[in-house]
Amino acid sequence: MRCKCRGEKIGDKMKIALVIGSTISTIKDEVIRGRKLLIVRNTDTTGNPTGEPYIAVDTVSAGTGDLVMVTDGSSARYTNQTANAPVDAVIVGVIDSLEMSGEVTYRKQ
């Protein structure tokens, strides 16, 4: 199910992703100047990568190897640090553990 807010399409859901690297961009939009840009890949609930790499703005000081929560689409522009910024993906949390049906499927080392 998709939500609509003021005619804007909101992302379907938060995603689980693995931080696999970082990127440096010396020329970028003024609004995201000074923001850390990390390379992430979506994962399954055990932390195994399932998707293609993409860039997300880091708002929580994540680092390479961290499993993170990512929101994308217009929802990525609703954080304090990305409001009205030209971003499509933002890291909003670092995951300590995941539990599915009473079983821990991931625990941060």
CATH number of residue 22's parent domain: 2.40.50.220
Q: Give the single-character DSSP code of 90.
A: E
Q: Give the number of domains in the chain.
A: 1
User: Which amino acid is located at 108 in the chain?
Assistant: K
Burial class (CB in 10 A: 0-12, 13-18, 19+), 72: buried
In a domain, 108, yes or no: no
Q: Between 96 and 1, name the one with better pLDDT.
A: 96
In a domain, 106, yes or no: no
Q: Write out the residue range of the structural domain in which residue 32 sits.
A: 4-97
Share of the chain above pLDDT 90, in %: 52
In a domain, 107, yes or no: no
pLDDT of residue 50: 93
Task: Using the structure block, give the residue that is written with the tokens 């703005």.
Answer: 57
Q: How far apart are CA 97 and CA 91, in angstroms?
A: 16
Q: What is the pTM of this model?
A: 0.80
Burial class (CB in 10 A: 0-12, 13-18, 19+), 42: middle
